[in-house]
A and B are shown apart, each in its own frame.
Chain A
Amino acid sequence: MQISYANFRQSLPRTIWDWLILIFLLLCVLFFLMPIYVMVVTGLKQAQNVSLSTMWQLPLHLSGGGFYEAWRRLYPNMGNSLQLTIPATVLSSIFGAINGYIFAKWKFRGANTLFAVLVFGMFIPYQSILIPLIQFLEQIKLYGTIGGLILVHVVYGLPICSLIFRNFFANIPDELIEAARLDGAGVVRIFLLVMLPLALPAFVVVGIFQFTNIWNDFLFGVTILPNPSAQPVTVALNNLSGSFSVDWNVVMAGAVIVALPTALIYILLGRFFVRGLLAGSVKG
């Protein structure tokens, strides 16, 4: 009690500078929330009430606004995105855990070079592999299918997932492995019985990171799935806003709907979210 009260006292603004900082931060909050406000408020308006001159005002009547229409047009693609994001996230986490474990705990000659070769893959502009990728997917009959897109996200997710798991496993003391080896456990058994049970937090971090990345992807979705009914929801949202008569209330409501899953994850599990983001900067 005493301590938290002291912390609270410490956090109160005392000088004029403190007050200025607080006011500035509050102005920044207004700036950062402004697009969210615009999206939600416009989405809640009826089509006939969306006019250019009243953009910043609250809706006059409380109703679903553009949300019904946006949901009607986007929900099949929401289904596609879920069908694609969940398996791809699970698979890339599993592969990432295995690779990260080997790279952290069983270093062999040349392992660091191979790791660099692997990690470079997460920085390339995917434009530079799209033509052969599409041809390859056509050959194995996965072009235009959600299965094909899952494969693509798993493969190009390998570098970042392996990287986050490697950094996580590197912090687990080697003594634990030595003890397990004395008990006769080998490479595989140490992973399954010793490392995996410890790796739950890393799975949460990678899971959130990959879910967000794959959900938010646009380039692979638009190029690998030409059929609109199979496309992920980010592509569907862009089609919605690019059509000839743009109903801004529907588009804004759609943007809110597409943002909702990752926004909820961020709000509920923000702590793990930050860890994934920092791990992505390669530092061990």
Chain B
Amino acid sequence: MPTAKLQILRSSQAKAPAKRKRITSERFLPPLILVPTLAAIITFVYVFILITIWVSLSRWGTLRIDWRPRDPLFEAYAQMFAMPRWHADLRNVLVFTILFLSVSIGFGLLLALLLDRRLLGFTIFRNIFLFPYALSFIVTGIAWRWIFNPETGINLLFDGLGINKWLVSIGAAPFRPGWTTDPSVLFSVNNALGHVFPAVRNLSVQLGIPIALIPVVVAASWQLTGFAMSMYIAGLATVPNELREAARIDGATEFQVYTKVVLPLLRPVTVSTAIILGHVSLKIFDLIFAMTGVGPGFATDVPGIFVFDMTFKATRYNLGAAASIVMLLLVAMVIVPYLWRNLRKD
């Protein structure tokens, strides 16, 4: 308190010069304070990305560093897009993203809506559903790898619940998938697409859902459904109760209150959640690294693993760099419009 008073006195005595000094410092100091951070980010993000692009165009394909540009310049990209493994990777990351987003957003929304009734144990339920979010993808991967071990885990549980006994009794084959060890692809659309685009027949990968990818989708959804649920719970809290009451008075059933009033208001939440989870899923690496690796016939390989293998195991730096730039472009296609829309507003 005394210092504050003193300051007022001082500033009133020497008003003019102090004010000028302050105006200049208030103009130049704020940007100046940000200089170290921005310098670090420009170097570590933007300059490093440019260097990676350069590496992807260079002759640095062995342990020996070679910055000279390659001829033809985009040879690493051409090589990569000719690799059956890279085709499998692109299919996997796409299929994984679609399945994982549908499951975690759908399940997360369902949980949020059910919890919205605020029945007994609301807080406990919510905390349990979000709990996996706090764990490392490595922990999640290890736990689910054991659960989806075809000799035990889930399959044993099916046996124990008598499902297979019942299937055999009605003359069907017992349900014992090989999960992460199964290289086959479900719902392959190659033949169907082949009628329209004959080029599809020459593809080296089956366009469909690899069975080995399903356990990974389950594990990722187990970890991140709670995130989607939390986003929706926060979104539901912003829907005014008066609005729901008004709809009820107008004769809407409880079901209609949700489909006609609440859900349309939650659309922005869905967009945010889809984009956050979408960029996680395009970058997915740790979970698959710990759970299945590349999988049988590259059934669970993704660009994140491809980059790691090419760069750090095969030391084909230009190829790894090229794949990482494709990853960056995939993420940027999702994130840049989102940031543009969100940050322009304020």
Residues of A within 8 A of B (CB): 10-13, 18, 21-22, 24-25, 28-29, 31-36, 38-39, 42, 52-53, 55-56, 95, 98-99, 102-103, 106, 108, 111-112, 114-121, 123-125, 127-133, 136, 155-156, 158-159, 162, 181-188, 212, 215-216, 218-219, 223, 234, 237-238, 241, 248, 251-252, 255, 258-259, 262-263, 265-267, 270, 273-274, 277-278, 280-284
Contact = CB atoms under 8 A, between A and B. Distances in A.
Nearest to A120: B339
A234 B273 CA distance: 27
B261 to A, nearest CB: 19
Contacts of B239: none
A12 to B, nearest CB: 6
A158 B311 CA distance: 26
A186 B7 CA distance: 12
B263 interface: no
17 contacts: A12-B119, A29-B129, A35-B140, A35-B222, A53-B152, A121-B44, A124-B331, A129-B52, A131-B321, A136-B48, A159-B41, A183-B7, A185-B7, A216-B138, A218-B136, A238-B138, A277-B230
Contacts of A33: 128
A202 to B, nearest CB: 17
Interface string B271-301: 0110010010011011001100000000000
Interface in B127-177: 127-140, 142-147, 149, 151-153, 156-157, 160
Contacts of B147: 34-35, 38
Interface in B94-125: 111, 114-115, 117-122, 125
A270 B127 contact: yes
Interface stretch (B28-36, B186-194, B201-209, B240-248): B28-36
Q: Which 5 A-B pairs have the closest CB atoms?
A: A106-B30, A216-B136, A266-B134, A129-B48, A52-B152
Given A28-B111, A123-B335, A282-B342, A215 B136 contact: yes
Contacts of B282: 125
Contacts of B73: none
B339 A184 contact: no
Given A25-B125, A277-B227, A248 B146 contact: yes
Query: Which of B42, B139, B343 has the largest number of chain A CB atoms within 10 A?
Result: B139
Given A25-B125, A282-B339, A123 B331 contact: yes
Overall SS of chain A's interface: helix
Contact of A120 (B10, B45, B285): B45
A218 B146 contact: no
B318 to A, nearest CB: 10
A136 to B, nearest CB: 8
Interface of B: 4, 7-8, 10-11, 18, 22, 25-27, 29-31, 33-34, 37-38, 40-42, 44-49, 51-52, 55, 111, 114-115, 117-122, 125, 127-140, 142-147, 149, 151-153, 156-157, 160, 222, 227, 230-231, 234, 272-273, 276, 279, 282-283, 285-286, 289-290, 303-304, 307-308, 311-312, 317, 320-321, 323-325, 327-328, 331, 335-336, 338-340, 342-346
Nearest to B115: A25
Contact of A18 (B34, B119, B272, B289): B119
B146 A38 contact: yes
Given A33-B128, A158-B40, A241-B290, A112 B343 contact: yes
Nearest to A42: B146
Given A187-B25, A187-B29, A252-B142, A131 B55 contact: yes
B230 A127 contact: no
A99 B122 CA distance: 37
A22 B143 contact: no
B339 A119 contact: yes
A252 B143 contact: yes
Given A33-B128, A270-B130, A125 B324 contact: yes
A99 B18 contact: no
Given A21-B119, A102-B30, A266-B134, A281 B37 contact: no
B135 A132 contact: no
A228 B344 CA distance: 45
A55 B138 contact: no
B34 A99 contact: yes
Given A18-B119, A29-B125, A129-B49, 17 more contacts: A32-B132, A33-B128, A35-B222, A36-B143, A95-B37, A98-B33, A102-B34, A111-B31, A120-B336, A121-B45, A218-B289, A252-B146, A258-B136, A259-B134, A277-B133, A278-B234, A284-B342
A35 B40 CA distance: 40
Nearest to B340: A116
A281 B143 contact: no
Nearest to A257: B139
A85 to B, nearest CB: 12
Nearest to B282: A125
A140 B55 CA distance: 20
A127 B143 contact: no
A125 B130 contact: no
B320 A131 contact: yes
Contacts of B290: 218, 238, 241
Contacts of B151: 52
A36 to B, nearest CB: 8
A283 B234 CA distance: 12
Nearest to B336: A120
